[in-house]
Amino acid sequence: MPDWLLDEQNNPRHGWITAEYGMLPRSTGSRRRRETGTIQGRTQEIQRLIGRSLRSAANLHSLEKHTVWIDCDVIQADGGTRTASITGGFVALIYALRKMHDKGDIKEFPVKEFLAAISVGIVKKAACFRFEL
């Protein structure tokens, strides 16, 4: 839970949703080293994008004091890892929140809208959903 979410008595003002993103060593054509210690800037920005996207679809006050962590581990990097992480992360979030709600950990189901991600590019001055580089 981020420090700025805590009140004067160290109690959370509302719940939180965050994500961790990482590429497995053989997710690319040649083996890459695991990120240890501090994460690279690109990875950190992707994590922020995923977390912000997931939080935008939920009422954080309905989470009460709970933090939900979504792990996005890239098995094969094919150019769609951000969108796959957002869409897959949302599916995982729905399952986690449903379980929390069914167990009585949260009173109100926090999802206020559904979420999916796509990648769009500009080809010959036209926006294209599926494009080849």
Domains of the chain, residue spans: 3-128
Mean pLDDT, rounded, for 74-82: 84
More confident residue, 14 or 2: 14
Q: What is the pLDDT of residue 96?
A: 97
Burial of 75: CB neighbours in 10 Å, binned 0-12, 13-18, 19+: exposed
Average pLDDT, the chain: 87
Is pLDDT of 132 > 60? no
More confident residue, 2 or 87: 87
Residue 51 dihedral angles phi and psi, to the nearest 5°: -60, -45
Contacts of 11 (CB under 8 A, 6+ apart): 65
Q: What CATH number belongs to 3-128?
A: 3.30.230.70
Is pLDDT of 24 > 90? no
Is pLDDT of 109 > 60? yes
More confident residue, 131 or 12: 12
